[in-house]
Amino acid sequence: MKMKMDFVSSVKLNGKTQKKKINYILGKVKDGSILVLDGVMKPEEEMDLIKETMRRVDNGFPGIEVCSLKKQTKGFKHVFELLSDRREKFWNWLRRKPYETDLKTGMTLIGPAKIIKKIKKNPDSFSVLAEV
Amino acid sequence: MVFGRIINWIRNYFRLKNDIRLGIYGCTNVGKTTLANKMSLNFTGEELGKVSNIPHETRFVQKKEKVILESNGKKISLNIIDMPGLATKIDYRKFLKYKIKKKDAKKRAQEATQGIIEAIKWLNNVDTVLAVMDSTKDPLTQVNITLLGNLEAKNIPVILVANKTDLKKSNPDQIREAFPQYPVVDISALKGSNLDQLYEAIIKHARKAK
């Protein structure tokens, strides 16, 4: 039995629209790959990933397992991050471009639910049980 | 007559505006519909939806409008919206274990995916959220984290409901430890215990979305 893992740099997805990011991720995962990203998506993007996954669920693809570890920002850094998000949104709105964002600092694992049986998450680590 | 209709329309419009849309969210089988039923039964005398131990029993958004919730002499008008359980995967084969025919299991899975999409769309239309969690299980799931992250980004008030406290394995403190920034109320929706405290929390925290 073989299992494919793709380790993807955030550079690959940074600056892409949400739709393009989700298409890229689901394309890989639907092909059977487990994807490891060196970054995390925004919660809104993650929710859209779930929504888009549901649209693509069929008899051969029951969905995904996803787990992310985000570097928590506090105080001034948190405020700066929020302001930077708003600035990005505003800038994209001005240019009339679809919303493009960069991945935040952290790590995400996304894989097919057919292969990944369980993810045990702790605040700063997670372990994955996969069965091929 | 026309004038009367216009007055009624204006009245209803403003009444609707004043009702707080309370979304009940969470993973599957955490007791969202059991809770929605209890709340609805307590204040309107009617239940809202069917409950079962088969995952994805609620596959459509269910609403109960104009529920006047009362606690400690304070009143609040709610539209209770019971959402299908959120999940990142739905495998029709899981339903076969519950003696559901293959054809029905596939239909159930398809309806469940649509239900999840609907529930996610509703995030833009709720004012306050009860995030229900099963207190016998690990709350640190990606679905819970993503849900709470979205509510925070949208500035929607949220109350965490640690359900199933009637079970031996229940450990509501793990929910408090996992999400210390949110108010947590321990309840058993099945037994109806501690619901008064939940109603107080709703009255305290619920507000219209900005």
Domain ranges of chain A: 4-130
Query: What value of ipTM does the predicted structure carry?
Result: 0.85
* Residue spans of chain B under pLDDT 50: 15-16
Q: What is the per-residue pLDDT across A13-56, written as a single tens digit (0 to 9) for each?
A: 888 888 999 999 999 999 999 999 999 998 999 999 999 999 99
Distances (CA, A) of B156 to B48, B64, B197: 24, 20, 20
Facing B88 at nearest CB: one of A50, A55, A121: A50
Specify the DSSP element, H or E, that contains A106. Answer: strand A106-112
**CB neighbours of B20 closer than 8 A, spacing ≥ 6?**
B76, B77, B78, B79, B127, B128, B206, B207, B208
> pTM of this prediction?
0.86
| Domains defined for chain B, CATH in brackets | 20-205 (3.40.50.300)
Distances (CA, A) of A31 to A4, A112, A114, B82: 9, 9, 11, 35
Q: What is the per-residue pLDDT across A57-109, written as a single tens digit (0 to 9) for each?
A: 998 999 999 999 987 666 777 677 777 777 777 777 776 666 666 778 899 99
Residue A86: per-residue pLDDT? 72
Chain A contact probe: residue of B103, B107, B142, B147 with most A CBs at under 10 A = B142
Whether A47 and B150 lie within 8 Å, measured CB to CB: yes
Residue B118: per-residue pLDDT? 96
What percentage of residues in chain B have a pLDDT greater than 90? 70
Residue A104: per-residue pLDDT? 80
Facing B140 at nearest CB: one of A44, A65, A121: A121
Choice between A82 and A2, residue whose per-residue pLDDT is larger: A2
Chain B contact probe: residue of A57, A110, A115 with most B CBs at under 10 A = A57
